A and B are shown apart, each in its own frame.
Chain A
Amino acid sequence: KQEVTQIPAALSVPEGENLVLNCSFTDSAIYNLQWFRQDPGKGLTSLLLIQSSQREQTSGRLNASLDKSSGRSTLYIAASQPGDSATYLCAVVKTSYDKVIFGPGTSLSVIP
C-alpha cells in the first residue's frame, strides 16, 4: 500500500529565506507526483506536476525534484514571502489510473 509522508510537519521561517520541504513515498511505481498548496478554508491549488520520467520541474520561485528510485521529492522555495504561508501537500498518482495519494502536508509560516 502506498504511503506518503512529509517532513517537517510545520515550518516557520523569516521572510527572504530559501527553504526545502520533503516528501517520501513507499512505492516507487508512480505515474507522477504533484505538489499542491492549500490555504485555510480553501481547496487545493496545483503548483507543480512531475512525470515519473522527469527529474524536476520549475515554476517561478518554486522548484520540485523527483528521485523515483529512492521514493523522494523535494519542493524548494526561493526567497520566501509572507504570501507563501500555507499548507503544502505532496501527492502521488498510481500507475494505471488516476487515484491520488496525499501526504499529510507541511504547514509553512513566513514571518514578515
Chain B
Amino acid sequence: GAGVSQTPSNKVTEKGKYVELRCDPISGHTALYWYRQSLGQGPEFLIYFQGTGAADDSGLPNDRFFAVRPEGSVSTLKIQRTERGDSAVYLCASSLGGGERGPPREQFFGPGTRLTVL
C-alpha cells in the first residue's frame, strides 16, 4: 500500500512569498502531524490533526504559519510572507490515531518537502 506522500519534494521561493506544502496521509489514518527539521537537528512538532480539526497547534512558530485538513484526509501547510529562517525540511506523518482517549499509535513519515527561501 502507498505510504505518506508529500508534494512538492523541493520548493525554492523568494523572501516574502506565499507557499503551500501538501501531505497525503495513509488511507484510513485519522491522525496527521506536521514537523519541521532544520539542518543538523531533529524534527520539531508543528501541528497535529485528529480528523478535520487541529487538536494541537502549539508548535506553529507564529501566525504566518497555518495548516488545514478540510476533509480529514489531505492536509496543506501554508506559510505566508516567507522568511529565510523558514528554510527547512517539512515532514508530515500520519497514524491510526488515538488522541487523548486512546493509546498513541505508531506514526509513519513522508519523505518531506525541502523548502528553501532565498
Contact = CB atoms under 8 A, between A and B. Distances in A.
B62 interface: no
Given A43-B109, A44-B91, A44-B109, A99 B42 contact: no
Interface in B33-78: 33, 35, 40-45, 48, 55-56
A101 interface: yes
A4 B31 CA distance: 23
A101 B104 contact: no
Tell me the interface secondary structure of chain A in the complex: strand
A97 B48 CA distance: 10
Interface size class of B (residues with CB under 8 A): 20 to 34
Given A97-B99, A97-B100, A98-B98, A43 B110 contact: yes
Interface string A86-112: 000101010011111111110000000
Contact of B104 (A31, A102, A104, A105): A31
Given A43-B91, A44-B91, A100 B107 contact: yes
Interface in A1-56: 4, 31-32, 34, 36, 41-46, 49
A56 B100 CA distance: 26
Interface in A63-99: 89, 91, 93, 96-99
B112 interface: yes
A43 B42 contact: no
Nearest to B112: A43
Interface of A: 4, 31-32, 34, 36, 41-46, 49, 89, 91, 93, 96-105
10 contacts: A36-B109, A41-B114, A42-B112, A98-B33, A98-B98, A99-B56, A100-B35, A100-B107, A102-B44, A103-B42
Closest 8 pairs (CB-CB, A-B)? A102-B42, A98-B104, A44-B109, A43-B111, A43-B109, A93-B104, A104-B42, A102-B43
Given A44-B93, A44-B109, A89-B42, 16 more contacts: A43-B4, A45-B109, A46-B106, A46-B107, A96-B100, A97-B104, A98-B95, A98-B97, A100-B43, A100-B93, A100-B107, A101-B45, A102-B44, A103-B42, A104-B41, A104-B42
